[in-house]
Chains A and B, each alone.
Chain A
Amino acid sequence: MSTRPSFIFLILFICSGCDSFVVEFPDSSEPLKFTASSVDKDSKTYQEGDLKILTWNMRFGIGRLPFFGDSCGDKVIADETTVASTMQAIAETLNVIDADIVLLQEVDLESKRTGYWNQIQYLLDNTYLNYGVYASTWQSDFIPTDGIGRVNTGNAILSKFEIGPAERIQLRLRTDQSDLVQYFYLRRNILKAEIPELASGQKKFFAINIHATAFATDDTKQQHVDKYVEVLGKIDSDGDVFISGGDLNAVPPGAVIDYCMNDICDREDFHVDGAEPFHKEGSYFQNFQDEPDILVPLYDRYQPAIEIEAINQPENYTHAPVTSMLNDSTIRKYDRKIDYLFTNMEWEGSSGFTHQACWEISDHMPISASVRPTAGD
């Protein structure tokens, strides 16, 4: 081998080992795509009629395990029995509901905390869903804190129908963190996917999935919702249609805004002089002036799966932290609504439903609703 090819080989060899330790994403990037090991040829073709849409923060398949990052939990690496039984329950639930398009948040892809499980592929292989796209929210070779280790978790869209062009849209990072914490922290996103099979004439059909910030105490949540409104607005103004939803980590207009005392842990103090912070992160929804009305633009412009008159009724609550207790022995299953479905079409009648029976499978309840993409044409 002459000197020059040897040198080039050496450089290539060295650079091939230079993947980022923490993955930082550009404003726009291509998500990962998945296909079920066995695609159902009948279900991948749209047969007209209603489409059932579902959104669910599936909490990376650990059910009600008190994970250390949530409220008062202290567990880090889930055991095999917990993950296996929860993933099976999620797959069975998706099959029973039989949704055509599923918007998932907190899906793990080979993270240590869930035994390096490829949860997207598992769900595709164990449900009626055939195709998936995935956009990471948190991807690092190693998180050097609390024993987390390798992590890759994010948003996914699963569909019976083939997924066309898709985009991972980066949301602004939190500004209330140090550079070191921010480097190892989550990078939230909007996942946008076109589904050509559901296009109607010139109208393209999009599925949009979002998981907005939970714990920011600055205006990051406003930035995330603004970007979400912008993405939906662009589709709408182009004359296309969308179904969209996710975990917005924001309560509806008119809801209670302070859950600090519901979520409080032992040895914590809030709402008393000298308490720092005064409110519990993630449990208080007025960190800036207009936060309680942050979702008004969505309700003003689009159709919610759960009618606005019913959004603050207990049967539509979607979340409570797993360590939240009504008393010493009674778990608080849900006490707020922070998960949503919207469309710029019309949901079918009163098809919007919050599946609160699923409360043991995650700390979020799925919402489903039906829509007919060709209606009105």
Chain B
Amino acid sequence: MIRLLLAFICFICSVIIGQQRIWDSHSAHTLPAKRWSVGVFQPVRYGISDNLETSFHPGWFFIIPNVSFKVPHSDLGSFKAARKISLVYPTPLLNMLSREGIGGLIDPNLTTPPMLGVSGSFLFSKEALGFNVTTKVGLDVGLVMGELDTRSNIDLPLVYHRLEVFHNKWGLHAGLDLVKEVSKDLELFLDLDLRLLPDFDKGNKSKEYSMRSGDYSIEHKLLVAWNHGDRFRILMGYKLVAGEYPYGKQMRLLPYIPMLEKWVPLIEMQWAR
């Protein structure tokens, strides 16, 4: 757990082999055929053809199998458009975290049944007022093959609303990404994402015992990137998560080191070629 927290909180180091902004994973642009990128925490991305890009997180693949496909869509006015579908199978990871002792994030008496998460998104990108703008909107579906106990969740920011899609069966997401070139060496990245779990609270039998509660989460990230030539850059910034949980509303600035009770800057390094 400590390793996971440290990995998550302290330092995100990714290695990317690629080039230009067209390779930004959140935009509507797809990788050209046979081009690829790889990262420690970033997904492996590969252009199967000019019209089909696939990606997956290699570090997590064997405990949380996942894969995404992105295909270009006909332009929508001045926007470049794409469709993205993601599949994730979190059951092995959740059952690993359901254990006694340190690192047990889920009640060890609970077993997570086979579950498949399916997310579909539309992405729209364009240049406007000196910004690279990407908007997205999509639907999340949580397919559960068996009995999923309401107590089987992790009440942490970033994680809670993603897992509760399986309890609610579905959810919605939307987002906005902005990239601004401040100077030759400096860029500014800003994103805002919204996750919704419609009618989520209706799953509670009583108002006092409320395992299923909190139907939205807003995530915001701001990063400043310093480019050192074309092949290396450092990004620094923060991530802010605000949302409603079973215990009420909460806002948390990340990365956050619990024992020091301090926020530390998010640092990411990228190499490209």
From B2, B105, B250, B252, A147 is in contact (CB under 8 Å) with B105
User: For residue B238, which residues in chain A have a CB less than 8 angstroms away from its CB?
Assistant: 14
How far is A84 from B204 in the complex, measured between Cα atoms in Å? Answer: 13
| B240 within 8 Å of A (CB atoms) | yes
How far is A18 from B238 in the complex, measured between Cα atoms in Å? Answer: 12
From B155, B241, B247, B259, A180 is in contact (CB under 8 Å) with B259
Stretch at the interface among A45-53, A69-77, A288-296, A362-370: A69-77
B window 56-109: CB within 8 A of A: 98-109
Nearest chain-A residue to B246 (Cβ)?
A116
| B248 within 8 Å of A (CB atoms) | yes
With contacts A76-B108, A147-B108 taken as known, whether A21 is within 8 angstroms of B102 at the C-beta atoms is no
The smallest beta-carbon distance between A221 and chain B, in angstroms, is: 26
How far is A142 from B251 in the complex, measured between Cα atoms in Å? Answer: 14
User: For residue A145, which residues in chain B have a CB less than 8 angstroms away from its CB?
Assistant: 1, 101-104
Nearest chain-A residue to B238 (Cβ)?
A14
| A203 within 8 Å of B (CB atoms) | no
CB–CB A146/B100 < 8 A: yes
Nearest chain-B residue to A75 (Cβ)?
B109
Which range contains the number of B residues in contact with the other chain? 35 or more
B window 224-273: CB within 8 A of A: 238, 240-242, 246-248, 250-253, 256, 258-259, 261, 263
| A216 within 8 Å of B (CB atoms) | no
How far is A76 from B151 in the complex, measured between Cα atoms in Å? Answer: 10
Which range contains the number of A residues in contact with the other chain? 35 or more
* Chain B proximity mask over A52-85: 1 for CB below 8 Å, otherwise 0: 0000000000000000100000111101100110
How far is A118 from B206 in the complex, measured between Cα atoms in Å? Answer: 12
Nearest chain-A residue to B261 (Cβ)?
A20
How far is A112 from B248 in the complex, measured between Cα atoms in Å? Answer: 12
User: For residue B211, which residues in chain A have a CB less than 8 angstroms away from its CB?
Assistant: 80, 115-116
User: For residue A116, which residues in chain B have a CB less than 8 angstroms away from its CB?
Assistant: 209-211, 213, 246-247
How far is A142 from B205 in the complex, measured between Cα atoms in Å? Answer: 25
Interface residues of A (CB under 8 A from B): 13-14, 16-22, 24, 68, 74-77, 79-80, 83-84, 87, 110, 112, 114-118, 122, 141-142, 144-147, 149-150, 179-180, 183
Interface residues of B (CB under 8 A from A): 1-2, 5, 98-110, 150-151, 154-156, 205-206, 208-211, 213, 238, 240-242, 246-248, 250-253, 256, 258-259, 261, 263
List 7 A-B pairs, Cβ < 8 Å. A19-B250, A21-B261, A80-B205, A145-B1, A147-B98, A147-B107, A149-B154
Closest 7 A-B residue pairs measured CB to CB? A115-B209, A17-B253, A147-B107, A21-B258, A110-B247, A116-B246, A76-B107
